[in-house]
Structure 1
Amino acid sequence: MSIEIANESGIETATDPILAVARYALDEMGINPLAELSILLVEVEYMAELNNRWMGGDGPTDVLAFPMDEMTVDRGPGAASDQAEPALLGDIVLCPEVAAKQAVTAGHSTDDELHMLTVHGVLHLLGYDHAEPEEEKEMFALQAKLLSGWRASRDNA
């Protein structure tokens, strides 16, 4: 799994666990191990600009996902796929400053918030959404399952 990460947020952030949780989620979802993903951590002003330009939102948000090959994700050997090469999944953009504020409200660490947002972004890249109540229920249950599994595997290592 090729996952590139760049921290342009100006905030010291542990990127290895973000890479690890993204890799875990993609592995658990059966994504081809040669698939590519990019994760970018940005400052508040840039996140607000992206949110406005691409989502029509006002102000910064916590995570944005920009899928590339959403409809042709190669789920690895043995899975039905009409594409011969591994997918370029897309980009996940995280804003650590927004995540830090949300973490306080949620009662957990900024790192925990960033891990959750990373899994959330991965699921969006894979076509999951939460616009409708049933979609939200499915996506958030899967998100919780993936985070729980990753935490358990990390704690047992």
Structure 2
Amino acid sequence: MAIEIINNTKEDYSNLKLESLLAFGMAQMEINPDCDLNLMLVDEDEMTELHIKWMDEPGPTDVLSFPMDEIEPGYKEVGVLGDIVLCPTVALSQAQKAGHSFEHEAGILSMHGLLHILGFDHAEPEEEKEMFALQESLVARWSK
């Protein structure tokens, strides 16, 4: 499996076990485990730059996804899934507001990024309901 975690922050987030979570998500979505996936952890300044450049929206966001090959659930070939970019400080703030752990929030956001790469979206209410339920279910099953 080729999941790479790239930490561009000054903090150590190795305790989050995000590689294991993403591998579980890929397996549950029946993605070839040899597909490449990168998860980059960035600070708020870098996330703000990416958010402006790619979404034309100000300020930092929690997670961005950059799919490469068009890979959907059930994909059996080897390919490049793409990049997930996560801002841990935004995740921490959101976790505090939601009343759950930072670890849970980072997991939800990482899974959210993976689902976007696999073609899921939440532009419409029904899509949002499906995607958010799936990401919660995957993280809950992984944490057991």
TM range (shorter): over 0.9
Gaps in structure 1 of 5+ consecutive residues: 77-84, 153-157
Give secondary structure in 1 for the equivalent of 2:3.
strand
Structure 2 CA distance for aligned equivalents of residues 113 and 95 of structure 1: 11
Q: CA deviation at 1:138?
A: 0.9
- The total of aligned residue pairs comes to 144
Q: Which amino acid aligns with 1:22?
A: L
Structure 2 CA distance for aligned equivalents of residues 51 and 87 of structure 1: 26
When Rg is computed on C-alpha atoms for both structures, the one with the higher figure is 1
After TM superposition, the runs of 4+ consecutive aligned structure 1 residues lying more than 3 A away are: 71-74
Alignment of 1:58 onto 2:50:
no
Alignment of 1:125 onto 2:117:
yes
Q: CA deviation at 1:73?
A: 7.0
Q: CA deviation at 1:145?
A: 1.2
Does the 8 Å CA contact 1:73/1:87 hold for their aligned counterparts?
A: no
Which position in structure 1 is the counterpart of 2:108? 116
* 1:1-157 equivalence runs, <5 A: 1-14=1-14, 17-71=17-71, 75-76=75-76, 85-152=77-144
Structure 2 CA distance for aligned equivalents of residues 108 and 143 of structure 1: 16
Instruction: Give the percent of matched residue pairs that are identical in Structure 1 and Structure 2.
Output: 49
Q: Which amino acid aligns with 2:84?
A: I
Does the 8 Å CA contact 1:14/1:111 hold for their aligned counterparts?
A: no
Gaps in structure 2 of 5+ consecutive residues: none
Q: CA deviation at 1:33?
A: 1.3
TM-score w.r.t. the length of structure 2 is 0.94
Give secondary structure in 2 for the equivalent of 1:40.
strand
- Give per-residue Cα distances to partners, 1:98-120, cap 9 Å, x unaligned: 11111100111211111110000
- Give per-residue Cα distances to partners, 1:53-108, cap 9 Å, x unaligned: 001111000000000012577622xxxxxxxx411000000001111111100111
